[in-house]
Amino acid sequence: MATALYIGVIGMGWMGQAHSRSYLAVPLRYPESGLRPRLVICSDTVPERAASSKELLGFAHSTGDWREVVHHPDVTIVDICTPNNLHVEIVAEVAATGKHIVCEKPIGRSPLETAQVEALARRAGVITGVGYNYRWAPMVQYARQLVESGTLGALQHFHGRFFSMYGANPLGLLSWRFDSTIAGSGVLGDLMSHVVDMTHALAGPIRQVTSHKHQYIHERPISIPGRGTHYGAGQPGDPTGPVTNEDFVAALVEFENGAVGMLEASRALVGPKSQFAFELSASNGAFSWDFERMNELQLYRPTPDNSHDGYVRIVSGERYPDHGHFVPGDGNGIGYEDLKVIEAFHFLESVAAGRPHVPGFAEALAAANVLAAMERSWASGMWESVTSLKQ
């Protein structure tokens, strides 16, 4: 039996359009699920973008006022893809209606705002989802299965990092991501939140951290709202404005189970294009993964007699979680937006079943607890314990 789910999307930039395409793809990729998303209404502060998104993606309505999305009588799920400074206000209004919520990370400009957003949704009893889409890569899901099975033994070390070059060009546009009044933190919320969430999924809770931040580029060409993305660039001589948040964050971490690790994130290092990667070492094996080669996992599981002692390259395919919904066989790769489709499917499945979704706002808060400890370490220059910000 088909289950219709009625969706409104707020913010029709790159991510809002990606989310919308993902909803449209769910019944094509998961026809047996019976999930039938319906795109009801979209909004954007740039009227032309809202209107073009309506026509391109098949929304029934479009508007320049996000409140019309929240209060549309047919909408049961609100998907928030706006700049970070609007998240608290929008979530508060959505939660008051009892509608379910998807929100891109970070769900708050700061760890404290994230705690506020989580509390609003939890008290309203709504189902929530967060855009930690890298969790859904089939090779990452397989790596998590290896950890949960216990076959790799006890965790020894975890190194996670997200190095993206979107901010490496000094002529890269001064989008809202570089403005602390809109985005809050810089790479801490934008990229390190992904790293911490992945760390929690694979290695478990973190007990304490010591952290450092750095800013490489202090001014950028001013962007025009509604045009391009944070990957765009200006020209020499264009008017510039100040960058007011950090480009790089690193942290040493100690896990609650006693293992140790290192986490890093940067938007300005030259070289890695989009290197979201991790290496995990345990007492009986190890693995590593890199989003730039997302359809591969390097796995180390030596045989008892050591006749096979080295890393093996595992290539993704239909035998691994969700991969077969996109292409059959082995070695036929999937891409970034396919992860957003998997993410959308699993969230809609949770809503249809009436059960809490993972990752939701609770997982976003768990990551924010770690980010808050990193911020405290910047100020103290010392190790800081991870404590709960739950309200």
The CB density around residue 111, as the number of other CB atoms within 10 Å, is: 27
Q: Output the pLDDT for position 228.
A: 59
Q: What percent of the chain has pLDDT over 70?
A: 99
Q: Where in the chain is the domain with CATH 3.40.50.720?
A: 3-133
- Confidence at 225, pLDDT banded by 50, 70, 90: low
Please tell me the least confidently modeled range out of 136-145, 224-233, 300-309: 224-233
One-letter identity of residue 304: P
Q: Output the pLDDT for position 226.
A: 58
Q: Output the pLDDT for position 117.
A: 98
Q: How far is CA 145 from CA 5, 133, 285, in A?
A: 30, 17, 14
Contact 65, 44 (CB under 8 A): no
**Mean pLDDT of all residues in the chain?**
96
Q: Output the pLDDT for position 227.
A: 57
Return all residues near 55 (Cβ < 8 A) that are at least 6 apart.
Answer: none
Q: Output the pLDDT for position 224.
A: 75
Q: What is the pLDDT of residues 323-365, one digit of tens each?
A: 999 999 999 999 999 999 999 999 999 999 999 999 999 999 9
CATH superfamily of 134-332+366-380: Dihydrodipicolinate Reductase; domain 2 (3.30.360.10)
Segments in the chain forming alpha helices (H): 14-29, 47-57, 66-70, 87-97, 111-124, 138-149, 180-183, 187, 193-203, 336-353, 361-380
Q: Output the pLDDT for position 248.
A: 98
Q: Which of 80, 9, 117, 150 is CA-nearest to residue 363? A: 117
Q: How many Å apart are CA 345 and CA 25, to the nearest integer? A: 9
Q: What is the pLDDT of residues 23-44, one digit of tens each?
A: 999 999 999 999 999 999 999 9
DSSP state of 80: E
Q: How many Å apart are CA 102 and CA 204, to the nearest integer? A: 24
Q: What is the pLDDT of residues 40-93, one digit of tens each?
A: 999 999 999 999 999 999 999 999 999 999 999 999 999 999 999 999 999 999
**pTM of the shown model:** 0.96
Pick the CATH number of 3-133 from 3.40.50.720, 3.40.1390.10, 3.30.465.10, 3.40.50.300: 3.40.50.720
Q: Where in the chain is the domain with CATH 3.30.360.10?
A: 134-332+366-380
Q: How many Å apart are CA 67 and CA 372, to the nearest integer? A: 31
Structure tokens at 239: 């008017």
Q: Output the pLDDT for position 233.
A: 86
Q: Output the pLDDT for position 132.
A: 98
Please classify residue 236 by burial: count the beta carbons closer than 10 Å to its beta carbon, then call 0-12 exposed, 13-18 middle and 19+ buried: exposed
Q: Which of 228, 118, 115, 209 is CA-nearest to residue 166? A: 228
